[in-house]
Structure formats: structure tokens, C-alpha cells
Amino acid sequence: MLLDVSLSQLVLVDYQARLMPAIFEADATAANAVRLGKIAQLLEVPVFGTEQNPSKLGENLPEIRALCQRTLAKMHFSGVEEGLGEWLRPPVKAPQGNARSLPKHLQKPAGGAQEERGTIVIAGCEAHVCLLQTALDLLEDEFEVWVVTDACSSRTERNRDAAFDRLAGAGAELVTTEMVGFEWLRTAEHPAFRDYQALIR
């Protein structure tokens, strides 16, 4: 099963200015998050961010915040507890007109394309706390969750790796930044392929 760009949304969790100096391999982690956000923008994949207690930990790094269409300030470790799920799956609109006017198999589904984007590509810090709890809640809410391992970290490598083990056991797919980009593109003939190559060189 490959990622489908038309079904995907990207969530970037808590790459905050006051947190990042304590994060294991912080520079590489943040650089991969930026790459993810840029390829998402190239391919018109919606990008959302979260910030844990921003009054204490600061906003996300400016280069990451600039890539997000919306950023959720939160106090719960899981962004889903504070409404992230509603951003990712807006409420279905009520059907218009007489519902009995057409047989069910001919009726158009309510809402637009965004309701169909049930694949969440997610990365962030700290992997064993906010990233983990957000991803587990998204799985519980029946999203497909793909965790971008090289764009995730924690203060320690051991905590990061424990999060990956637990997420894989819960049903999340573990991928890398380049895996996401190449699966979204699918072909070297894609109009954005050269731009993507420039991002990963």
C-alpha cells in the first residue's frame, strides 16, 4: 500500500523554539519537517501544525510555522483532544433537497473533497509524548496514520525509538521523508519531480 497524495494531509507537531535545543538530532529532524511541508505545498496537500503550551515553549520554528495553513495551540498532549480531528475531518454537510428524490446509489456524497482525506502523515516532537498521543488518538478516530520517523524526535533516542515501536504495534505505518515524497509523486514525469529533487539534495 502506497501513500495517495489526493487522500493525504500533513500534521507537524510541536517543533517549538524553546523545545528544539533539547531534542536529539534536532537540526536534522527540523530540516526533514521543512522538506515535508514544502513537498506538501508543491502537491497541494493540506498542512496543519500544533504547538504545546506556546506561552511557555514558544511558537513553532518560523520556517515550519510558515508552511502550516493553521496552527493549533494546545495544553493537552494530544492535539485530537483540542479539536485537531475536526480540522482534519470537517463535519459532513446535511444533504440538500429531498433525500428521497434519487435512489441511494445515485446520490452524491455530502461535502467536498477534504472529507475524503483520511490519510494523515504526521511528524513531530516529542515523539513519545505529543506525537505519540496525537497519532494514537487519530488511529482511534479511524484515520490512517503514517509516522515520518526521520522528522520525529525526543530528548533521548531511547524515548523516540520506544514511540516508534508502540506506534507500529498500534497500526501506524512508519516511513521516512523521502518515502513520503516519492510515494506522493509516483513518477519521475510528475511536474513537481525536479522541485522535489532540489529539496532532498
Residue 82: per-residue pLDDT: 97
> Within a domain: residue 188?
yes
Q: Does 77 reside within a domain?
A: yes
Prediction pTM value: 0.88
In a domain, 84, yes or no: yes
Please, what are the averages of pLDDT over each run of 10 residues along the chain (201 residues)?
96 97 98 97 97 97 98 98 94 58 53 69 98 98 97 98 98 98 96 91 86
Q: Which domain holds residue 46?
A: 5-90+114-200
**What is the chain's mean pLDDT, rounded?**
91
Model confidence pLDDT, tens digit, residues 100-149: 555 555 555 544 444 589 999 999 999 999 999 999 999 999 999 999 99
Does residue 102 belong to any structural domain of this protein? no
Query: Cell numbers of 61, please?
Result: 520554528
Q: Do strands 47-52 and 8-13 pair parallel, antiparallel, or not at all (unpaired)?
A: parallel
pLDDT at 201: 86
Please report whether residue 9 resides in a domain: yes
Residue 51 lies in a domain: yes
* Distance from C-alpha of 165 to C-alpha of 127, rounded to nearest angstrom: 11
List the CATH number of the domain containing 28.
Answer: 3.40.50.850
Query: Cell 532540489 identifies what position?
Result: 198
Number of domains the chain contains: 1
Task: Please tell me the distance from the alpha carbon of residue 181 to that of residue 131, in angstroms, as a whole number.
Answer: 20
Please report the pLDDT score of residue 88 as a whole number: 96
Q: Is 79 a member of any domain? A: yes
Residue 102: CB atoms within 10 Å: 11
CA distance 201 to 184: 18
